[in-house]
A and B are shown apart, each in its own frame.
Chain A
Amino acid sequence: MKTTEEKVIEIIRSVKEIKYPITPEMSLTDDLYLDSLDMLMVINTIESNFSYKVDMGEVERIKTVGDIIRTLEAEKSKTLIHEKH
């Protein structure tokens, strides 16, 4: 089973052809050159693959690949907590 990190990197690669390795500390704009349209596509693909509605307020705070991974991990743990109760 793929980790969240692997899934996020796969989504970024599906939106934009990037020939070099993608790591969590990379900046979405400065290292991966994603623009606002690319970001919307990343969000749409995440929403579709993770069945999770991204709050557009959160998008403003997302600067790196790791930010996306952490946001999804946090959402996942919330869901688990919710399921436990």
Chain B
Amino acid sequence: MKNTDFYNRFVLDMGVVEKAGHNPYYHQVQSELSDEIILEGERFIDLASNNYLGIANHPELKRACINAIEKYGSSLCATPVCSGYSELHQRVEQKISEFTGTERALIYPSCYQANLGLFTAIANPEDIILVDRCAHSSLLEGIKSSGAKISPFKHNDMNYLEMLLQKSGQHRNIFVVTESVFSTEGTIASFKEINELCLKYDAIPIVDDSHGIGVLGNNGHGILEHSGISDYQGIYTASLGKALANIGGAIGGKKSLIQWMQYYSSNLVYSTAISPSSLAGIEAVLDIIRLEFPELSKRMWSAKWRIEKALLSAGFDLTSGKAPITSIRAGNSLETIQLSKSFWDNRIMTTAFVYPSVPQNEGRIRLIAGANMREETLQRAEEAIGRIRHG
């Protein structure tokens, strides 16, 4: 009886999906990521993935992954602290720290794990963590699990943040947490100002650059380059599975912290190390960015602006983000899923965000146009957007 009760708790409410006649989640992909993808036997324009630079199927990247498998096999079947740490792992960590502008870096199997592991390792109830209201779930979950006092600040509101900093002095440490690019809104954090406020109030900044690495800055090095920050005294995290087109998450920071985390971050110490093929892929992507970023960046921004313009011309209500993410304010969960269905019916794959991923009634349809969008595909997307709004 008790067991029956237990499993009865897990009945999924699919009411909204049934009402909309469409489930926007867990569609099965049957191809590599080009500007189109094959989903369940049909060809779709890909405006859903985070393949900002459009290089997930780059020949050099594929070759590097295959070569790593030839050398190391599929996995080292161990945690990094034991026998799962290859010379390749060490080299890629070194390259990531140089690329992002941090003293040293660690690579976790995912950025979600990196963010969870970070806060539990560095903060406790004696500390206070000031976090942007719109920060990613992995940051909020990590903060909650640390037991530190949490105090959210209004999205990108520096006056509000300063007000909180002024009254946080009694805590052992103050951390200020933000994303660089907010993944549902496409807004870019005022990180230069956040960093300056942290210096003024002796707080430690923590930035999650998952949607900024490979995207922001003159060379694609991310938020620190974008903000003109050198000699960064804070902590940096980033996903390696978005513009960097692989998998894994990085934490960068001062050498002493990173050395300590190598032994005391349980999310790292007790997780099987990221696979060698992914590490080789990350290394290859860093080379691709070094050689091709100006051209890739130009194409990525051009595609973003084309899609944004088409949506505005069609009368969609967009968020005001300046990053290469375009988000439509779509209303409640039902309205959001219905709009995602309209895109789906026009063979455009988008990402639908509904409660609890976003606040109630603040659903979003997110579109990301990568640097790999061909002219013909962009034109088809523009035409379809006009039809969706007016059809």
Contacts and interface: CB of A to CB of B under 8 A. Distances in A.
Interface of A: 14-16, 33, 35, 37-38, 40-41, 44-45, 47-48
A41 B163 contact: no
Interface string B124-165: 000000000100000010000000001111100000100110
Interface in B161-187: 163-164, 167
Contact of A37 (B133, B167, B360): B133
B359 interface: yes
A47 B164 CA distance: 10
B94 interface: no
B361 A33 contact: yes
A41 B361 contact: no
A15 B154 CA distance: 7
B163 A48 contact: yes
A33 B153 contact: no
Nearest to B166: A48
A18 to B, nearest CB: 10
Contacts of B152: 37-38, 40-41
B330 to A, nearest CB: 15
A47 B163 CA distance: 11
Contacts of A45: 160
Contacts of A47: 167
Max count, chain B CB within 10 A of own CB: residue among A35, A37, A41, A45: A37
Contact of A41 (B140, B154, B359, B360): B154
Given A40-B150, A41-B154, A33 B164 contact: no
A33 B332 CA distance: 12
A74 B133 CA distance: 30
Contact of A33 (B150, B163, B359): B359
Contact of B153 (A14, A16, A35, A41): A41
Contacts of A33: 359-361
B151 A40 contact: yes
A79 B152 CA distance: 29
Contacts of B360: 33
B164 A44 contact: yes
A40 B201 CA distance: 21
A38 B133 CA distance: 8
A33 to B, nearest CB: 4
Query: 10 nearest interchain CB pairs?
Result: A33-B360, A37-B152, A41-B152, A40-B152, A48-B163, A37-B133, A33-B359, A40-B151, A44-B151, A33-B361
A45 B133 CA distance: 14
Contacts of B167: 47-48
Nearest to A32: B360
A59 to B, nearest CB: 13
Contact of B359 (A14, A35, A44, A48): A35
A40 B359 CA distance: 15
Given A37-B133, A41-B153, 19 more contacts: A14-B154, A16-B359, A33-B359, A33-B361, A35-B359, A37-B150, A38-B133, A38-B152, A38-B359, A40-B150, A40-B151, A40-B152, A41-B133, A41-B152, A44-B163, A44-B164, A45-B160, A47-B167, A48-B163
Nearest to B152: A37
